[in-house]
Each structure stands twice: as C-alpha cells, then as structure tokens.
Amino acid sequence: MGTHERDIRLNKLNTIREQGINPYKERFQKSHSLYQAKKLPLNTSGVRIAGRIMAVRIFGRLIFATLKDFSGKMQIALQEKAVGKERFAFFKKYIDIGDFFGAEGTIFKTKMGEITLDTSGYELLSKTLRPLPEKFHGLSDRELLYRQRYLDLIMNDGTIERFLKRTRIMKTMRDYLDAEGFFEVETPVLQTNPSGANATPFTTHHNALDLDLYLRIAPETYLKRCIAGGFDKVYEFARSFRNEGLDPSHLQDFTILEYYVAYWNYEDNMRFTEKLIKHVLEQVNGSLKLTFGEKVIDFGKDWKKVSLRDLIFTDTGIDFSTYTNENDLRKAIKEEGIEIQDLSTMGFGSLIDNLYKKVSRPKIDDPLFITHHPIELSPLARRNDINGRVTDRFQLVVNGWEIVNAYSELVDPVDQRNRLEEQASLHRKGDSEAMVMDEDFLTAMEHGMPPISGWGMGVDRFVCLLTNQENLRDVVLFPLMKPTDQQ
C-alpha cells in the first residue's frame, strides 16, 4: 500500500474532526454480538451491534455493509430515508472498509434471504488510516501473515479458529491434569544455570545484580525442587527459549508443558500419556483419527514401543551399544556415509541423538514410544537397573516430530553429580548443547527426593498436529521475525 490511500484517509480524519465529531469513541454499548443478533427473531428492534466494516455495496439511496466481530459476520442496511440525508451522505463520504462501526436498528430478512440489520442510527467508532489487503492468500503472503498477524486474523476466518483451537487444547489438558490431582505452578524464566535439557541457551544480564543470566531452556529442575519440597504432582505451561536452528518444527521461543509425579516410573507415565492425549483428541477433535496433509494418523490403534538402539540399528545398521566412545561412533557414522553437521564437536550422546534425528525420526508417522535412551543423552534420567548404559526414558514421536519426552527421574545425587561433571566437561570442549554444573539443584537433590517420573510436551508441535499445520509459526500468534528496513 502506497502513501496515497493513507493520505486520503488522513484528510477524511481531519475533516471529521473539523466537523466536531470525535472519530475515536470511548465506548459503544452493544446489545448483542453479531452471531447473537443473527439468531434473533425477525422484527426485533433496538438491536445494537458493532464490528469492523469488511465490505460496502452502494445502490443509490441504499447501502449494504458487512460487519465482522469475534463471533462472526453480519450484514447491515442503511436507507437514506431511515438514517437521514445528512448521515447517509456522511457514510458515503467518510466511512471506509476497515473502520470500526456501531449500528442500531431492527432485524429483517432481505429478498435474498440474508438476515440483516435495518439501521436507524449509527456511530463511527474508530477511523482506520490504512486499507485492508484486497487479496490475502497463498504462499507469497506467508511472511506477511507472520509479520502482521492481525491482518491474517482479520482477513482469514480460519486463522481465528486455529488459535481458538490452540486455546481449547491447552484448556483441555489443564482441566484433565487438574482433575487428576495435579497442581499448576510457576518457575523462573531467568536462571543462573541453563538446565533441564541438552540445548544452547540465550544469555542476558541483570543490571541491578550485575549478574549474567540465562533464559530458561526448560522448567525441569525447578519443578523437581517442588517435588523435593513435598508436592506430589505439579505441572507448568512454560515459555522456554533455546538458541538453536530455525526450521518448521523448531522455534527459539516456544511453549512446553511439563509435569512431574512422585512415586511413578516411566511406564506409569507412558500409560498416563496415552490416556491424556486420547482424551484431548476426543474432546477437541471428536475422533482418535487425525488428518494431517494426506495422511490419516490413527491414535486409536495400539501405540507401539521400540528401544532407540533397535530403531537406529534397523535404519542404519549401526549398533551404538557396542561403542564406548564418541571417536569410534563418529567413525562408524562416516563409514555409513551419513552426513551430520558439526559431527566433529559432538559428544557421544549428541552423536546418537543427531543420528536418530537424521535417519530414523523422519520415517515415523503413527504414534510411537521410543525407549531406553543412552545415559550420555539423558543426563537427568534414571539409570536402568538391568542395563546401566541406558535410561528409563521414552519419547512419543508422531509424524516425524517429538511430541513428548519423559522418563523416570534420576534422584541419586551422587550419580547426578557425576553425570553433570561429564556434561560440563563436554560443554568446555565445545558441545554447546551439553549441560553445565548446577550446584543449587544438586543441593536440593542431596536433601532427598522420592521416586519421580517427569514429562514434557512441545505444545506448539501438538497444536500443529491437531490443526493440520506443518510450520510452528502457523500456531504461534506472533513468531519472532527479523526486522525489515521499514521497521
């Protein structure tokens, strides 16, 4: 949009003010939403509605306009004989598409069968200076959809529905957890140690304390502190931040749901996970079958379980359990011709994780529990009693995306200290995703923790699944965008 249209509207705004009319009203008393008004009996009078003007059609001394509010759209009619010549002329001259508008009148049905408000009086509530897009669809507009989400919400009815569905999904999960005896808590976003996951953190500085801090990469260690303090079941919808690569399935600023339960193990957690997700699908989608693109994903079938070792071995022929150090595993990956970025700086656990993400994960469609990840990849998970090189952990993967990560938590403070020391050593050697020492968390552990099983879900990914979206930016209202020259 050039400056010409804005200048025209700005001149209208100035003229309106010169006439002693306030173009930005304080309030407007509505009697009904547009959806409610359309349900009223014909000839109901005194109806007061408001919304944004989305279309105007002028037929001599009759004007039809379409209003839109949060509930939907409705047509209004302005007849010169009903509103008066002066007010009719004012509408034609000064009211534009995009303006916010309030109208009062009587409900009737047009010859075309459309429920309409026969307007007896109106108010300009808010004058817009920029016109709405004439066309707003297709891939060519995708960046604009993200940069100016408000235009997406205005022009595309399906966008509001998608974000309303996100709200319903989160509310359904929250209600289910509450009914199961969980308590919602809040934990710090600013942390002195980046802990709770293998990820690269964002750094910041606290001026008052002259202290370098990190934006949390996960709420895990603080939720475990709650369990140590006496909570049995806690959860948090936590905005988290990871300074990593950007792609359709990863955002640096994302929402994770984590919960922790005293006295459970990872197998209890797997059973609960299946119940929770099936409940959400039934409540929000009305079916355990989910359409994603051209696929139909059936959550009603038995959810299969496979160990990470077996999965990778089947797909690559590499049995990582036979290797004891990263150099030999790195050599095996190279011999198989598998290309992984930054291979030379990764520790043993990161090598396995990236191998799985490169080769195995993209092949997974239906819900699959992947179990028994190696110790090196799970610095906060409990060591398996039979095979000490793996952990009691599972991931739920659907359609090539990790939706849930969960495990029996490590509550042995000595074992935890040893693992964090190994992680800190890898971090010093250049593995930016390795964890650092967290003495405060270790102190909490040394005061004693019960058996615990913890769980984390990437909420944005789960919402993508349930709304048939391939890019996380399509389920985040205002994703971070690199500034343009105009900003």
- Domain containing residue 360: CATH number: 3.30.930.10
Q: Which helix (H) or strand (E) holds 59?
A: strand 47-59
Q: Which helix (H) or strand (E) holds 355?
A: helix 348-355
- What integer best gives the mean pLDDT of the chain? 93
Does residue 482 form part of some domain? no
Question: Domain tally for the chain?
Answer: 2
Q: What is the pLDDT of residue 20?
A: 96
Domain that holds residue 80: 3-126
346/201 same-domain check: yes
Q: How confident is the model at residue 138 (pLDDT cuts 50, 70, 90)?
A: very low
- What percentage of the chain exceeds 90 in pLDDT? 80
Q: Which two tokens stand for residue 24?
A: 């930005």
182/105 same-domain check: no
* Phi, psi of 288, rounded to the nearest 5 degrees: -90, 0
55/184 same-domain check: no
Q: Is 102 helix (H, G, I), strand (E, B) or coil?
A: strand
Q: Which two tokens stand for residue 326?
A: 């990263």
Average pLDDT over residues 49-69: 97
177/121 same-domain check: no
64/174 same-domain check: no
7/87 same-domain check: yes
Torsion of CA 309, 314, 316, 322, to 10 degrees: 40
What does the DSSP assignment read for 368-380? Answer: EEEE--BGGG-TT
What is the dihedral sign for C-alpha 464, 468, 470, 476?
negative
90/233 same-domain check: no
Tracing tokens 């690269």 back to the chain, one arrives at 200
Residues 289 and 299: their CA atoms lie apart, in Å, by 6
Does residue 137 form part of some domain? no
Does residue 135 form part of some domain? no
Q: Which two tokens stand for residue 131?
A: 């016109």
Does residue 322 form part of some domain? yes
Exposure of 367 in the CB half-sphere (CA atoms within 13 A): 21
241/350 same-domain check: yes
Task: Quick: pLDDT tens for 311-326.
Answer: 999 999 999 999 988 8
- What percentage of the chain exceeds 70 in pLDDT? 97
Q: pTM, whole model, 2 decimals?
A: 0.89
100/173 same-domain check: no
Does residue 136 form part of some domain? no
240/323 same-domain check: yes
Does residue 145 form part of some domain? no
CATH number for the domain spanning 52: value is 2.40.50.140
Does residue 44 form part of some domain? yes
**Is the confidence at residue 140, as pLDDT, over 60?**
no
Does residue 263 form part of some domain? yes
- For the chain, give the longest Cα–Cα distance: 89
279/358 same-domain check: yes
187/95 same-domain check: no
Task: Quick: pLDDT tens for 372-394.
Answer: 999 888 888 899 999 999 999 99
**Is the confidence at residue 1, as pLDDT, over 80?**
no
Segments in 212-325 forming alpha helices (H): 220-229, 266-280, 308-316
**Is the confidence at residue 486, as pLDDT, over 60?**
no
Task: Quick: pLDDT tens for 168-222.
Answer: 999 999 999 999 999 999 999 999 988 877 788 999 999 999 999 999 999 999 9
